[in-house]
Structure 1
Amino acid sequence: MQNQYTMVVGPKHAEKFKKGYPLIEKEALQDVEELQEEGAILHLVDQKNRFIGIGYYGKQNKGYGWMLSRKEGEVIDQSFFYKRLKSAIANRKSFFEDANTTAFRVFNGEGDGVGGVTIEYFDGYYVINWYSEGIYQFKDDIINALKGLVDFKGIYEKKRFDTKGKYVEDDDFVTGERGEFPLIVKENGVNFAVYLNEGAMVGVFLDQRNVRKQIRDVYAKGKNVLNMFSYTGAFSVFAAVGGASKTTSVDVANRSLAKTIEQFSLNGVDYEAQDIIVDDVFKYFKFAAKKNLSYDLVILDPPSFAKTKKHTFSAAKDYKNLLKDTIAITENGGVIVASTNASNFDMNRFKTFIDAAFKETNGKYKILEEHTLPEDFKTITEFKQGDYLKVVFIKKIK
């Protein structure tokens, strides 16, 4: 049983919570130093001792915990999580019924009513991501609730609450049967190899599903494609399946070579006809410019923060310059797929980076389409930073 605390909230934050804001920030709580036990239940009241809501204490990079309920007296137990999970699963009914897509998000944190935890589905296997020690204290209730709702082959977990924000290395297997990896899943009919037992990253980022489909169905045919920060080559695979004349995948991680070869091979694509380059992306931009290389379609999906031997990249500060480098090697009439998962700025600000990059290179452009998170990554309007993904398809006019 978790300890319970009554915490007084200042006027500004009390008003935010009453409007549905779910994140409990440090500044919201008076006497925050009283909190010692991760997972403690917080009964939040205003300065007149009027009930605001019930949350839990769990420190992570975003704050000190999350609101769970605005019903006074509601008990946070297995039944509570069962109801939240049941609703989330019902909302993904169409995904469970789609034989062409067997990997998707089942539960999306605060978007589904419990911040700090996500659950993903991979062809009968479930992966739970815990983002604080606080939410991890409810592990048994959440897992037992999940087991009561779904048929599953096995359940894995990822502990993402190291004090430095890194992954906690541990045996990821929880219950059921251990998978045999790679596990082959489908996304819109394309195969992916995933590894649920190799640390935080399983091999594909599910939030880009709709973007990959558009690249395959609309933009790739006959095009020379460059995929920067390519990870396991998912964008490249979709481009190749969509009829790209050639793809070039660039990522600094040594693992990207074997992983990308594997993904191409699973889909009957001759990987030897593609370029898979292990190199610093920033260095490759200079190489491409020096060799007068140019591309019809460039996919630019950097992490929100990255560090190599010679470069430190922050999306908020450096995306504009990265776009300028991209513009320089994109053919006139070509398309740039500019993407970021940085949650500290919105789509409007992202578009200012795009506009500034073209102005500073004396170029012109047209925005063709925009994407945010797909349907299974449910968000709420009261927490705009939860809708972190921003993707813009840009046509370079000159």
Structure 2
Amino acid sequence: MKKITVRAKTAKKLRGGYPLLVAEDLLTELSEDDFARFFDEKGQTLGTGYLSKQNKGVGWLLDSSSVKIDHHFYVEKFVNARVLRANFYQDELTTAFRLFNGEGDGLGGLTIDFYNGFAVFSWYNQFIYSQKKAIVKAFQAVFPDIKGAYEKLRFSDAALESQHIFGEEAAEPLLVMENGVTYATYLNEGLMTGIFLDQKNVRGALANGLAVGKSVLNMFSYTGAFSVAVAVGGAKQTTSVDLAKRSLEKTRQQFEVNGLDLAQQKIYVMDVFSYFNYAKKKKLTYDLIVLDPPSFARNGKKTFTVAKNYGELVEDAVDRLENNGILICSTNAANVSAQKFHQIVLAALTKSDVAFELLKTEHLPDDFCVSRAFPEGDYLKVLFIQIKK
């Protein structure tokens, strides 16, 4: 096991439970990926973890002692994770949720999601993936009821994106429930499954009546999950907009598996900003608008980032919102803090010269466990805002 010395400032963070390491933290030169024991500049032990580059940094602290990272270590992490999610197993209206949330459950670099009896592993760096055999064996010991599993390789040099790894193969589509709403998912279709489980609470609010009798515009709609939730919750009409061609078929399917009338649902495959221009020309307005863009997107020569362009979205949305309409602003951009996101939205609303009231905020649901020492892990930021013109 490697011995890695870190800077004094980093040592203080690690002692406080902060799990992530970046290149600037290390005084020992990086070489190949491996398990590591971390020390401060005085040679005092800080704990055990591993080094491997991923989008968040170069490694993770896993334990504050010199514990061996083996089968027993993984079993303990999975047992604790299962206990924490006992209530989700008992919820008959929800059959899809996060089983294991990386550093929030004590093992940075790995997440595992539950889809109606099946598990989906997501590996975020090469080294944690190299430990797959031991990790999956420990997982099966703690979750013997899992019918079968798939994996997503989310690191840049991965040879493939998705594959089946053990047990039964899931139906295509695999129907899951969330807050009583049915969603069609595909567990072996690239990196995505058809639904983002971190938005459970937002879809729950929509399905539980927030949009009763309202016309709803869902921008960056992907497979139309928000649209389906509001339709089940009593919306009078939905409009879903996404640039990806697959969104048309996938969104129709989501409505169909819930027995909803497609005649009341409009689906457009086009650029979101182009749709706002179209809606303005046609004098189309809405009672509720959902803005949930990817953190980064490119359309031709035009790029979109939350930090630079989200304000434009808010301004365009306010222009198409009815008086006393509701705007749901959402982002999963980890590089934009909750405070910064509030500032971006507030500045756009101020520029639009409207009165507004923040009705509520949402973050990650309880199954997405977040470490208190690592608040950056709570990446989801959602604002429900009523606009008064």
CA contact (8 A) 1:160 1:168 kept: no
TM-score, length-scaled by structure 1 = 0.95
CA contact (8 A) 1:21 1:382 kept: yes
What does residue range 268-347 of structure 1 map to in structure 2 within 5 Å? 268-347=259-338
Where does residue 243 of structure 1 map in the other structure?
234
CA contact (8 A) 2:6 2:28 kept: no
Counterpart CA distance in 2 for 1:196 and 1:216 is 24
In structure 2, which of residues 16, 21, 28 is the aligned counterpart of residue 31 of structure 1?
28
* Count of matched residue positions in the alignment of Structure 1 and Structure 2: 388
The DSSP-based 3-state class of the residue aligned with 1:41 is strand
Unaligned runs of 5+ in 2: none
Unaligned runs of 5+ in 1: none
CA contact (8 A) 1:65 1:134 kept: no
Where does residue 83 of structure 1 map in the other structure?
76
The DSSP-based 3-state class of the residue aligned with 1:248 is strand
The DSSP-based 3-state class of the residue aligned with 1:319 is helix
Counterpart CA distance in 1 for 2:180 and 2:97 is 13
CA contact (8 A) 1:23 1:63 kept: yes
Counterpart CA distance in 2 for 1:5 and 1:282 is 51
Where does residue 383 of structure 2 map in the other structure?
392
1:377 paired with 2:351, answer no
TM-score, length-scaled by structure 2 = 0.98
Where does residue 13 of structure 2 map in the other structure?
16
**Per-residue deviation at 1:218?**
3.4
Any idea what the Cα deviations from partners look like across 1:196-255, whole Å, max 9, x if unmatched? 111100010001111011112232111010000000000000111111110000000000
Question: In structure 2, do the counterparts of structure 1 residues 171 and 131 end up closer, same or farther at CA, with 3 Å as the change threshold?
Answer: closer
Any idea what the Cα deviations from partners look like across 1:170-212, whole Å, max 9, x if unmatched? 5511011112211111001111111111110001000111101
Q: CA RMSD in A?
A: 1.1
Counterpart CA distance in 2 for 1:146 and 1:162 is 25
What does residue range 204-215 of structure 1 map to in structure 2 within 5 Å? 204-215=195-206
Where does residue 162 of structure 1 map in the other structure?
156
CA contact (8 A) 2:20 2:61 kept: yes
CA contact (8 A) 2:363 2:381 kept: yes
CA contact (8 A) 1:105 1:376 kept: yes
Counterpart CA distance in 2 for 1:299 and 1:139 is 38
What does residue range 355-370 of structure 1 map to in structure 2 within 5 Å? 355-370=346-361
| Regions of 4+ moved over 4 Å | none
Where does residue 121 of structure 2 map in the other structure?
128
What does residue range 40-55 of structure 1 map to in structure 2 within 5 Å? 40-55=34-49
1:152 paired with 2:146, answer yes
Amino acid at match of 1:11: A
CA contact (8 A) 2:45 2:65 kept: no
What does residue range 219-258 of structure 1 map to in structure 2 within 5 Å? 219-258=210-249
In structure 2, which of residues 114, 118, 133 is the aligned counterpart of residue 140 of structure 1?
133
Question: In structure 2, do the counterparts of structure 1 residues 168 and 297 end up closer, same or farther at CA, with 3 Å as the change threshold?
Answer: farther
The DSSP-based 3-state class of the residue aligned with 1:247 is strand
**Per-residue deviation at 1:137?**
1.5
The DSSP-based 3-state class of the residue aligned with 1:127 is strand
Any idea what the Cα deviations from partners look like across 1:104-130, whole Å, max 9, x if unmatched? 000000000000100000111000000
The DSSP-based 3-state class of the residue aligned with 1:200 is coil
Counterpart CA distance in 2 for 1:373 and 1:178 is 29
Counterpart CA distance in 1 for 2:121 and 2:159 is 14
Counterpart CA distance in 1 for 2:159 and 2:305 is 24
